[in-house]
Amino acid sequence: MNRPLIFTLALAAFATSCGADKTNCSATFTGIAITPTTATADHTAATPGNQATFVAFAQYNYPNGCAIPAVLQVLTAQWSVSDTTDVTIANTPSGQVPGGVATCLSAVTSPVTVKAAATSPTGLPAGTFTSTAQLTCK
């Protein structure tokens, strides 16, 4: 065998092992995530300074070598907080990106957990997935 052919075969084997075969780029839904993961709001400030907006989006696992889309899939979630005395949370107003708007009513000594629960996107096995973030009210 000549050297160019050996190099070509080695390169082809390497590319295939790294997922260069892009015929099966089906992503696997793995859950949801919240952005931002941490936020701070001032309870003494006027709206929107006393608020933080959170967005839940789908997370997928892509096979090696497959292009990852630049657009995130935003999910409509049910929002809750661990401290309902000092923080309220509601869905964002109609016409905005679906999310949760947390409002600080008082200062807190430790971060409040913000939780999103969403069902799996259409076409995937049914299930409810959750994710959390932290909000500090000063």
pLDDT value at position 138?
95
In 10 A of CB 69, how many CB atoms? 10
pLDDT per residue as tens digits for the range 55-78: 999 888 888 888 777 667 888 899
**Beta strand 78-81 pairing with 112-119:** antiparallel
User: What does the pLDDT profile of the chain (138 residues) look like in tens digits?
Assistant: 433 333 222 323 333 334 445 556 777 788 899 999 999 999 999 999 999 999 999 888 888 888 777 667 888 899 999 999 999 999 888 778 889 999 999 999 999 999 999 887 766 666 788 999 999 999
Domain count, the chain: 1
Q: Does 16 map to a domain? A: no
**Beta strand 38-41 pairing with 128-137:** parallel
Write out the residue range of the structural domain in which residue 89 sits. Answer: 24-137
Q: Does 1 map to a domain? A: no
pLDDT value at position 101?
96
Beta carbons of 65 and 86 less than 8 angstroms apart: no
Q: Does 61 map to a domain? A: yes
Q: Does 3 map to a domain? A: no
Quote the CA–CA distance of 133 and 37 in Å, as a whole number: 5
pTM (two decimals): 0.74
Q: Does 6 map to a domain? A: no
Quote the CA–CA distance of 58 and 122 in Å, as a whole number: 12
Q: Does 55 map to a domain? A: yes
The burial class, CB within 10 Å (0-12 / 13-18 / 19+), for 114 is buried
Instruction: Supply angle C-alpha 60, 127, 36, rounded to 5.
Output: 50
pLDDT value at position 110?
95
Give the Å distances, CA to CA, from 95 to 2, 35, 91, 131.
Answer: 64, 19, 11, 24
Q: Does 116 map to a domain? A: yes
CATH number at residue 106: 2.60.40.1080
Q: Does 2 map to a domain? A: no
